[in-house]
Amino acid sequence: MRAFVLTAPGEYAVQDVPAPVAAPGEVVVDVERVGVCGTDLEFFTGAMAYLHQGHADYPMRLGHEWAGRVHAVGPGVGSGWVGRRVMGDTMLGCGACRRCRRGHQHVCEKREEVGIRGGRAGALAEQLAVPVGSLHALPDSVDPVLGALVEPGGNALRAAWATGAGPGDRVLVLGPGTIGLLVAMFARAAGAEVHLLGSTEASLTFARSLGFPHTWREDTLPDLPFDAVVDATNAVHLPACAVELVEPGGRLVYIGLAAEPSRIDTRALVLKDVTAVGVLSASPGLDATIEAYAGRVVDPRPLVAATVALGEVGTVLAGGRPPGAGPGPKIHVDPHVI
């Protein structure tokens, strides 16, 4: 089969590789759509921390935001899975440690991450092998485009949950990228008044096109009380700004990761009686995200600017914009297009 293989920082090729065979407890999926993520970009540049911590190495196959159809099952897996439309959890815990037994497999010390950690091949290929226990079935109303948006959506939904916001609350989301916009969508669906802070006029114009009129730059942000602030950026200084901006008694949610350590003054957290939450994974939010998409509680389709072939992935990771791409922040890949 054909797969996108990253061989070193900035070096890649679409290669013919052996098709996966389902091991015991696994399935092989025909991949229909894959999202290109900021994490993939970090591997492309060589900045991803896992490369320096021994959790990942080149060559590697990226791709963890995916949807597809089960093609074959391995020993111990029921044949009823064949033909089912699915997406999969990125985080694959060992299943035996204390964290896994307590339902926290997404922070298992020995976990693999599809297309990210532990040598587990990702979905930027025509087929993908994953454990059956990681699968989440997709209803007919959640097509491949929406299916490949479930994983980022699960992260964003968890962040929206962590704000605790609802009717009468005002939420400020820092960063109108894919995750930030999804957080905004889920917070709005919960009844909150949502504001977005961005660094480019293009991103803020796009946010307004999605029905978010309260969009700001750092120098135009009004002096309003924000009951929750979500940092969905990679800016080193914004986590500290979030502490300054949140109302006393409010909630901070950190889902973005900067390339360098971000520092906050914990004295401010104490004196403002603020709750701060970090969100790593979509795992606990996947089923609820599928349900929200199926019920059209949120519609993330406009976030997808273009769908490209495997041969165009390298250009996208290098910062190229596909010809005719829309204004959204997300690029999808169809591995079966030549």
Kindly report, residue by residue over 236-271, the tens digit of the pLDDT: 999 999 999 999 999 999 999 988 899 999 999 999
Average of per-residue pLDDT across 10-18: 97
In the chain, where the domains are located: 2-149+300-333, 153-278
**Number of helical (H) and strand (E) elements in the chain, helices listed first:** 11, 17
Kindly report, residue by residue over 154-188, the tens digit of the pLDDT: 999 999 999 999 999 999 999 999 999 999 999 99
Q: Can you name the residues that pair with 27 across neighbouring β-strands?
A: 73, 130
pLDDT tier at 74, thresholds 50, 70, 90: very high
Q: Can 2-149+300-333 and 153-278 be said to share one CATH topology?
A: no
CATH code of domain 153-278: 3.40.50.720
Average of per-residue pLDDT across 309-317: 97
- Report yes or no: 54 and 105 within 8 Å, Cβ to Cβ: no
- Say whether 281 sits in a helix, a strand or coil: coil
Scan for tokens 């609820």, then name that residue: 288
Closest by CA position to 130, among listed 142, 122, 119, 139: 122
* CATH homologous superfamily, domain 2-149+300-333: Medium-chain alcohol dehydrogenases, catalytic domain (3.90.180.10)
CB atoms inside a 10 Å sphere around CB 336: 14
